[in-house]
Amino acid sequence: MEYKFEYEHKFYRLTGITPLLGSQPANPAVRSAWIASKAPEGVKEMEDGELFGSEEDYRNAPNIFLRDAQNGDRLFLYDYIIKGFFKEVLNSLTAVTGMNSAKSKVDKFMFTGPRHLYVLRDGKPIIDEDGICERPLRTSGPSGQRVTLASSEMILDPWTMEFWIELVPNKKTALSAPLNWKVIEKGFNHGRRSGLGTVARGRPGAVHMGGNTEIKRRRRARRRRIRAVRAVRRKREMKINRLEIENVKRVKAVALEPAANGLTVIGGKNGQGKTSVLDAIAWALGGDRFRPDAPRREGSAIPPRLKVEMDSGLIVERRGDNSTLYVTDPSGRKGGQKLLNEFVEQLALDLPRFLNAPPGEKAETLLKVAGVGDRLREMEREENEVYNRRRAIGQIADQKEKFAREMPMYEDMPRQVVSAGELIKRQQDILARNGENERKRMNKTRLENELAMATRERDGLIRQLREAEIWVERVTNDLETANRDALELRDESTEQLERDIASIEEINARVRANLDREKAMEDAEMYRRQYDEMTTALEKIRDGKKALLDGAKLPLKGLTVEKGELYYNGYSWDGMSGSEQLKVATAIVRGINPKCGFVLLDGLEALDGDTLRRFGEWLESESLQAIATRVSTDGDECQIIIEDGEAVALVEPERTWEEGKF
């Protein structure tokens, strides 16, 4: 059984900040044995003294850099130099990394390459050393302590070296931390203090980590891809440059390059595959929602294949038995349906859905485009509420006024209802005054009688003459006063009051009728005032709606919404011409998603040539693209004719088709 392991892989670049010294013995025999011992399949530790060989080996020649004769004598170090560097550094960083047995972990879990590590300057391989470095060297060998003058080839800083590291995943143990990328980069950072490739510890060959070149490369590539995708997304309108369709529904093979701006009409007889072309485009760009129930052409052994090239460089393909989607942006990066959804509007692929929608739904779509739907709906709700209240109040006012006019009106009637008690009191007052007058009349008669008696007695009563004369004089004076009072008295008639008392109920009924009529007229006037106030409020709301729509960014000049319906240049949907309906629908689709610069239209045979021409001219003026079908074989009307699932050239001679080839 074969096992496959996925190791973590990273690229690094080291930059030298001190001169690099050659560390290979000049003696070929010693060097070959030494290098063989450092090979990956036979790695074993060597003491510092073993680097020198015998005294004769290093007395005659300095330590050197190896040269790759097959690549222009480029100077290089072997890959084990990196592992040796890490063993020494990690042993000195045990307290920092928490790692014990660093040498064992480097040997087991860390692999480096390539085998030859070329020394670079300014990105180019170094061929010649910069000089010879001589220094005293103390070491121990089989013959005991010795001091000698060591010399090495030298490369001056700055220099660089690039390599990769593969790391086998390993776990933390109770006694030691794992060897991971964090530990490796700590070791590289320690390279400022520890040399690389030197024959003795010290600062020669000190380095600093220049960065993970693979990560940088990937980041640069990612930035390039992002810029390419953003360029696609920044494009104002996306259109179809070319499409290839094979074995979809009734289509055998069709290749089409629609006009960038204007109308491209696909003609043909019924059942030849015109609609299948539009269905294939919708499926390619719209996703599985538009997948036909039976996508493969009947009788075909080859699965459907779709390819749509957009003017932005985006390529959309569906191929294979499962019709797998492949989306490739201009940078070569793969994408999916999510990228397509950013610029493909669903209504552009299914425009009849908008054309056949109810008037309210069309208006709602336009308001969604204008971004004022919520506010306009609130204003319409308020308008309907005020309109209904005003209508109800107007009806009440009309009813009140009609009722008031039908009520009887009596002239010369008092303003208020007459009270029977009031009339009786007035009658009693008059009778009291009349009784007083009667008493005065009786008093007059009595005095007249007394005067007559006094006159008769005056003749008989001489003795009482003086008294009688005085009495006569007094009574005469009283009589004169009584006469004057009697002449001024006039009796009041109670006849009218008696008639009023007898007819009080009838009078009051008439008075109440007048009052009711007056109240009805007042109510009617009040409701009329309320009606006028609500009319003013209604006009204000309608003015606000008009201002809201006038200020909204509508996709086509002349579009508006009135009473919940879509209007264009004052005409409702049913009042528009065919070209106007297509123009409005296409403009609204672009308004929903400005990045979508095309629409698909099926069944334009109901439109005459002039209507098609006007619609095409408008598309060109708006830099829009439409791909449509029409039952026709007229080359003047159609740019391509479909017969039996294949495109028939209008000018070029007919080409044969082989399955799987265009």
Beta strand 120-121 pairing with 124-125: antiparallel
Q: What pLDDT digit, counting tens, does each position of 453-503 carry?
A: 877 776 776 676 677 678 778 888 888 888 877 777 777 777 777 777 777
For 97, phi then psi, to 5°, come to: -90, -20
The amino acid occupying position 160 is T
The band of 143, judged by pLDDT with boundaries at 50, 70 and 90, is low
Distance separating alpha carbons of residues 63 and 22, to the nearest angstrom: 5
Mean pLDDT of 211-220: 56
Q: The whole model's pTM is what?
A: 0.46
How many Å apart are CA 432 and CA 424, to the nearest integer?
12
**Helix H segments across 461-503?**
465-488, 495-502
Model confidence at 658, pLDDT cuts 50, 70, 90, reads low
pLDDT at residue 431, as a whole number: 85
CB 68 within 8 A of CB 118: yes
User: What per-residue confidence (pLDDT) applies to 200?
Assistant: 43
Bridge partners for 321 per DSSP: none
In this model, does residue 54 exceed pLDDT 50? no
What is the DSSP secondary-structure string of 502-556? HTHHHHHHHHHHHHHHHHHHHHHHHHHHHHHHHHHHHHHHHHHHHHHHHHS--SS
Strands of 607-657, DSSP E: 625-631, 640-643, 646-648
More confident residue, 302 or 147: 302
Q: What is the pLDDT of residues 83-138, one digit of tens each?
A: 888 888 888 888 788 888 888 888 888 899 898 999 999 888 998 888 888 777 66
pLDDT at 201 over 60: no
User: Once rounded to an integer, what is the mean pLDDT over residues 421-444?
Assistant: 84
Residue predicted with more confidence, 459 or 327:
327
Cα torsion 488, 494, 495, 496 to 10°: value is: 110
Least confident of 12-21, 48-57, 206-215, 421-430: 48-57
Angle between helices 80-92 and 102-109 in degrees, nearest 10? 150
Distances (CA, A) of 467 to 444, 474, 477, 617: 22, 10, 15, 141
- Position 45 scores a pLDDT of 39
Pairing between β-strand 598-601 and β-strand 66-68 as defined by DSSP bridges: unpaired
Mean per-residue pLDDT, 615-627: 88
Are the C-beta atoms of 339 and 329 separated by less than 8 Å? yes
Question: Average of pLDDT values for 378-387?
Answer: 84
Quick check: 22 pLDDT over 70? yes
Looking at residue 58, its pLDDT comes to 41
Cis? peptide before 114, omega within 30° of 0: yes
What is the rounded average pLDDT for all residues in the chain?
A: 79
